[in-house]
Amino acid sequence: MGVEPVEYSHVNFFGNMKADPWEKWGCFNQMAAVSVDFGRLVAFSDSTIFSNFCMFFDAKPALAVRTVFFLSHRPGVFERRIQPWMGRIALVIISLSLLFCVLFGSLTALRTAIMGICLVGLLVVVKHVSAAQFRLPPRTAKDAVFFESALSSFKLPAMLDWSPAALKDPHAFDSFFINMSRMGLEPYVDNPLDLQGSPRLRCIIYPNSEAVSSAEYAALIDKIRKGHRLLILVEWGHSGHLAFCKALLSLAGIAHSWSEQQTKSCAMNAGKHVHRHLVVNKGGGLCSGGDRHEFDASVVPLGKGKIYFLGGARMFSREGFGQVYSSDKPETRALANLQYALVDYAAGTNVCMPQDISDALNRYLDLGGRVKPVR
């Protein structure tokens, strides 16, 4: 790891975020936790892991929840009186075992195996007893948004990559991901906290049909029929995305097709081309960019749940938002408002309605929102 000197003239206090040879490199502790009598203390040497732009990446939410839980409870008798002696006890047991072998015979393979098994057993017992002291209370997924990584091909890239390709990567959805937390939702890649119950929303970004089995399609459809809400972000011109949606709708028994609209030019492409829009016999379209933009949003009821399709969704990648900590611009704010309206409606809070989504899309297009095709 490298240490980047602080730069207070920069918007986020980071320096140039480049690997300079004069910087310090190596391993260092980022977090330490100790118990002192009836109290506990946690110290961090780097606050970046809890910054807005990366708070919900990887397993950091789990770290935050477990840290707060650790600090909110007093050390018990086991932690204060017994746990500090466990290492010494293990050392005494090993020493006595070795002494026994020396006094009563050679250290044979059998005796070595028995010693090893006993030591491993002791460690397992200590592990389970220690874990029981820090058992987390059950938490529900009622406000969570699960991003299904196994069914998707999106990226949540590291902030260290400043290459031109990374700054406008059409597969990078870090801003879209973090915007969920700005709505009061809890975005997670999969379910690192083992939250109980159904999430408010499931999200698949750029589905990879080749990696999905028939059993996975069936399991996904079953969840939706039982009341789950699924948001799918796709590009209708991408064969893999198209194949996934066709398979999902066909297995769910939903008749579907795609309409084609010829346009001379739009915010995304100059010259004559075709816009595709999903057509289903159940549900219907929420909004469409028409000949101005290839974006469209559709909803398909299925059992007790619903599937929401967002075509032309690369506008929500870095091509539309830029990096997650980019400076605020009118078109970026308009795009964020469009995401808020879509997600709010898809999550079932009913604060935003289809007309609000259409209005938000038109405001974004009026500001000249432009993105390029996914390659």
Question: Does the residue 372 lie in any domain?
Answer: no
Tell me: pLDDT of 56 over 90.
no
Are 216 and 361 contained in the same domain?
yes
Across the chain, what does the average pLDDT equal? 81
Q: What is the pLDDT of residue 158?
A: 65
Q: 99 and 201: one domain?
A: no
Domain co-membership, 160 together with 125: no
What's the CA gap between 69 and 71, in Å, rounded? 5
Name which residue leads in pLDDT, 275 or 213.
213
Q: Has residue 254 been placed in a domain?
A: yes
301 confidence band (pLDDT: 50, 70, 90): very high
> Cβ-count burial of 271 within 10 angstroms (0-12 exposed, 13-18 middle, 19+ buried)?
exposed
Q: List, for residues 116-145, the tens digit of each pLDDT value.
A: 787 778 777 777 776 666 666 677 888 899
Asked, for residue 10, whether it belongs to a domain, the answer is: no
Please check the confidence at residue 366 and state whether its pLDDT lies above 90: no
- 179 in the same domain as 112: no
Task: Tell me whether residue 309 is exposed, middle or buried, using C-beta atoms within 10 angstroms of its C-beta: 0 to 12, 13 to 18, 19 or more.
Answer: buried
pLDDT value at residue 10: 66
Residue 15 lies in a domain: no
Task: Indicate whether 199 pLDDT > 90.
Answer: yes
**Are both 121 and 208 inside the same structural domain?**
no
Task: Select from 133, 157, 175 the last residue of a domain.
Answer: 133
Q: Select from 133, 154, 170 the last residue of a domain.
A: 133
Same domain, 193 and 313: yes
Is 44 domain-assigned?
no
Average pLDDT rounded to a whole number, residues 261-274: 64
Residues 50-56, mean pLDDT to the nearest whole number = 69
3-state secondary structure at position 280? strand
Condensed to tens digits (0 to 9), the pLDDT of residues 22-44 reads 777 777 788 888 888 888 899 98
Residue 50 within a domain: no
- Per-residue pLDDT, averaged over 73-77, amounts to 76
E strand intervals along 272-319: 273-280, 284-288, 296-302, 305-311
Query: The domain containing residue 271 runs over which residues?
Result: 144-366
Give the CATH number, domain containing residue 330: 3.40.50
SS3 192: coil
Out of 49-53, 191-195, 221-225, 329-333, pick the least confident: 49-53
Structural domains in the chain (count): 2
**What pLDDT is recorded for position 273?**
66
Name the domain boundary from 92, 113, 133: 133
Looking at residue 243, its pLDDT comes to 92
Using the predicted structure, report yes or no on whether residue 371 has a pLDDT greater than 60.
no
22 is a domain residue:
no
Residue 245 sits in the same domain as residue 328? yes
Same domain, 105 and 171: no
Same domain, 115 and 168: no
374 pLDDT more than 70: no
Residue at 84 is within a domain: yes
Do 181 and 230 lie in a common domain? yes
Give the helix ranges, DSSP H, for the chain.
Answer: 60-71, 77, 83-104, 109-133, 164-167, 174-182, 214-225, 239-251, 318-321, 330-346, 354-366
Together in a domain, 302 and 323: yes
Q: Are residues 317 and 292 in the same domain?
A: yes
Q: What are phi and psi of 257, to 5 degrees?
A: -160, 180
- Of the segments 158-167, 319-328, 336-345, which one has the largest average pLDDT value? 336-345
| 83-104 helix and 109-133 helix, angle to the nearest 10 degrees | 170
